[in-house]
Amino acid sequence: MIFRQFLAGGLLAASATLLHAEPVTFRYAYQGGLNSLDPYSLNETFSLSALGNVYEGLVRRNAKLELEPALAERWEMLSPVHWRFHLRKDVRFHDGGILTAEDVVFSATRVRSQGSDVGTRLPAGTEVVAVDSHTIDFHLTSPAPALPAEWETWYIMDKEWTEANGAVPVTSASSAAPGAAALKANGTGPYRIISHEPGLKTVYGKNPDWWDATDGLPDRVEFSAVTSGPTRVAALLSGELDMIYPVPVQDIARVDQSPSTQVLSGPELRTLFLGLDQSRDELLYSDVKGSNPFKDVRVRKAVYQAIDTGAITSKIMRGTAEPAALLVSPALFARAGEFSRLPYDPEASRRLLAEAGYPDGFALTLDCPNDRYVNDASICEAVAAMLSKVGIRTRADIQPKAKYFGRILPTGGYDTSFYLFGWTPADFDSLSLLQAVAMCRNTATGEGAFNIGGYCNEQADALIRQLASEEDKDRRADITAQIYTLLNGDVAYIPLHQQKLAWGVSNRFHVEQRADDQFLFRFIRQQ
């Protein structure tokens, strides 16, 4: 009897151990696809976060977005223009190669090479030097007090592996011929790539040799691109998927009320805005010939005042967005409350168009993605209808993000006249945003690389350069306010709103949601 009880107890314990040891798979879907595994191809939050599970930067951010050591265990500023980083000595790439300073130097060269979409991670003119096998110096041409703030998504690549695989050239977002780094990966992160079908599905396996703790992480993660919102929701509710994002705004209550799922929601740091081509002498996609109406601030103001952001946030976003007066989230700029939107006023728009010499309006194309931002296609259709009512006859050209970004970004030659865009500052400050989208375009320095419309104000540029080297908090706020005053006065862009995050998650798992909308597997735990 005792033997039988002991045997039964042993079998039950063994069964429980085996059950606990079964591999855990986490399945999730996003509205768009992961097209390239090259970590320098596309400066887009979803792609960067998907690759941030495979590759790592010298630094990283925790769930609260606080900066912490990653591949670099420590660093110091030896002078305002001289930084030193010390690498961990126990880090290996997925193929077994050891991380060294030469990999960082190589990555600094590659990230600034032709085709890279993230070259602005390093200030122009920065010299990167290997002091020894695990120490790197960064010599700057001017002070940059927040130098590593954006480096979570400057991913370090293996020099030896990249060269051996013929993957040194960066596969740009506009390239139709993917290079080796676009199809396979070799990072240092918590997950390796098991398989990758561009734009469709990517399977990750846990890296048992990761330098950080992997206890409790899923053994396998499967990502699928599911464009249809109803299909994503149905798959989550049926248990086929463990997470989806974004949850369509009309389905948030339904998902949150399900006994097997919940919605993680919170403000996002991204701002959506409209950009206008202000650089070409003639718009590419308009019926106005021989001139560019967007060079006239009255026309830009007319576009702004024809858009009813209140209707967009209430009817299209169903209250899950907040109209924006600036290009940056109020959560990232304490003085944002000092600024307000131009009022919605269609009559004023018509008067401004007439004053500018367009009493009958003109025709225009608005370029938009349909799988990047929450309800992006619907937003663009609404904007097109609003503009058409004041005489700017607007057609919304809506495309998948792979094609869309391939056209409008620098590698596509800024092929647009009017476009929808969104930005989350990687440094969680206004500086990186302003350097990227507000400065006059300069291919030599990388300034204004994402200034797709070619806006240029030298006074704003001088202030942004001043901001880059200013350390005093109050002075930084003053300079930032001056810059936004100039941008708003010029109607450099037309801010729309900050959308809210909505991730649908199975109750089987706990997931940390970051306000920058990056989904990182190291924050997943089985319940």
pLDDT, average across residues 186-191: 98
What band does 411 get if pLDDT is binned at 50, 70 and 90?
A: confident
The class that CATH gives domain 267-500 is: alpha beta
pLDDT, average across residues 36-49: 96
Percent of the chain with pLDDT over 90: 93
- Asked if residues 465 and 149 have their Cβ atoms less than 8 Å apart, the reply is no
pLDDT, average across residues 88-92: 96
Percent of the chain with pLDDT over 70: 96
Residues written for the chain? 527
Can you give the three-state secondary structure of 203-256, one letter per residue? EEEECCCCCCCCCCCCCEEEEEECCCHHHHHHHHHHCCCCEEECCCHHHHHHHH
- As a whole number of angstroms, the distance between CA 45 and CA 270 comes to 10
Q: Is the pLDDT of residue 3 over 90?
A: no
Whole-number pLDDT of residue 395 = 98
What band does 172 get if pLDDT is binned at 50, 70 and 90?
A: confident
Q: What percentage of the chain's residues is helix, strand, coil (to nearest 5)?
A: 35, 25, 45
Exposure string of 406-436, with b = 16+ CB inside 10 Å and e = fewer, is bbbbbbbebbbbbbbbbbbbbbbbbbbbbbb
Q: Is the pLDDT of residue 17 over 80?
A: no
Q: Is the pLDDT of residue 353 over 70?
A: yes
pLDDT, average across residues 462-483: 96
**What's the pLDDT tens digit per position in 417-440?**
999 999 999 999 999 999 999 999
Least confidently predicted of 172-181, 208-217, 243-252, 518-527: 172-181
In order, the DSSP letters of 175-209 are -SS--HHHH----SSSEEEEEEETTTEEEEEE-TT
Q: Is the pLDDT of residue 1 over 80?
A: no
pLDDT, average across residues 321-335: 97
Q: Is the pLDDT of residue 2 over 70?
A: no
Q: What angle do CA 469, 331, 446 make, to 5 degrees?
A: 40
Q: Is the pLDDT of residue 12 over 50?
A: no
- As a whole number of angstroms, the distance between CA 483 and CA 438 comes to 9
Whole-number pLDDT of residue 177 = 83
Per the prediction, the chain carries an average pLDDT of 94
pLDDT, average across residues 407-416: 94
What band does 21 get if pLDDT is binned at 50, 70 and 90?
A: low
Q: Is the pLDDT of residue 10 over 50?
A: no
Q: Is the pLDDT of residue 362 over 70?
A: yes
In order, the DSSP letters of 360-396 are T-EEEEEEEESSSSTTHHHHHHHHHHHHHHTTEEEEE
* Helix axes 473-490 and 430-437, enclosed angle (nearest 10): 40
Q: Residue 485: is it exposed, middle or buried by C-beta count within 10 angstroms (0-12/13-18/19+)?
A: middle
Q: Is the pLDDT of residue 24 over 60?
A: yes
Instruction: Kindly calculate the radius of gyration of the chain based on its CA atoms and give it in whole angstroms.
Output: 24
Give all strands of the β-sheet with 72-79 in edge-to-edge order.
72-79, 82-87, 135-139, 127-132
In order, the DSSP letters of 35-90 are ----TTS---HHHHHHHTTT---SEEE-TT--EEESSEEEEEEEETTEEEEEE-SS
- As a whole number of angstroms, the distance between CA 35 and CA 199 comes to 4
- As a whole number of angstroms, the distance between CA 72 and CA 136 comes to 10
pLDDT, average across residues 43-69: 97
Whole-number pLDDT of residue 11 = 41
Q: Which of 245, 222, 181, 189 is nearest to 46 (CA)?
A: 245
- As a whole number of angstroms, the distance between CA 173 and CA 175 comes to 6
Read off the amino acid at residue 262. Q
What band does 15 get if pLDDT is binned at 50, 70 and 90?
A: very low
pLDDT, average across residues 22-42: 96
**What's the pLDDT tens digit per position in 125-142?**
999 999 999 999 999 999
Q: Is the pLDDT of residue 14 over 90?
A: no
- As a whole number of angstroms, the distance between CA 292 and CA 281 comes to 5
295 CB neighbour count, 10 Å cutoff: 16
Whole-number pLDDT of residue 7 = 34
What band does 253 get if pLDDT is binned at 50, 70 and 90?
A: very high
Domain spans of the chain, in order of start:
267-500
- As a whole number of angstroms, the distance between CA 503 and CA 2 comes to 52
Pair of tokens at residue 125: 């003119």
pLDDT, average across residues 67-75: 98
Residue 50 phi, psi dihedral angles, 5° rounding: -60, -40
- Asked if residues 108 and 128 have their Cβ atoms less than 8 Å apart, the reply is yes
Q: Residue 342: is it exposed, middle or buried by C-beta count within 10 angstroms (0-12/13-18/19+)?
A: middle
- Alpha-carbon distances, residue 458 vs 442, 455, 483, 502 (angstroms): 12, 10, 11, 39
- Alpha-carbon distances, residue 159 vs 148, 168, 191, 231 (angstroms): 21, 9, 19, 41
- Asked if residues 335 and 481 have their Cβ atoms less than 8 Å apart, the reply is yes
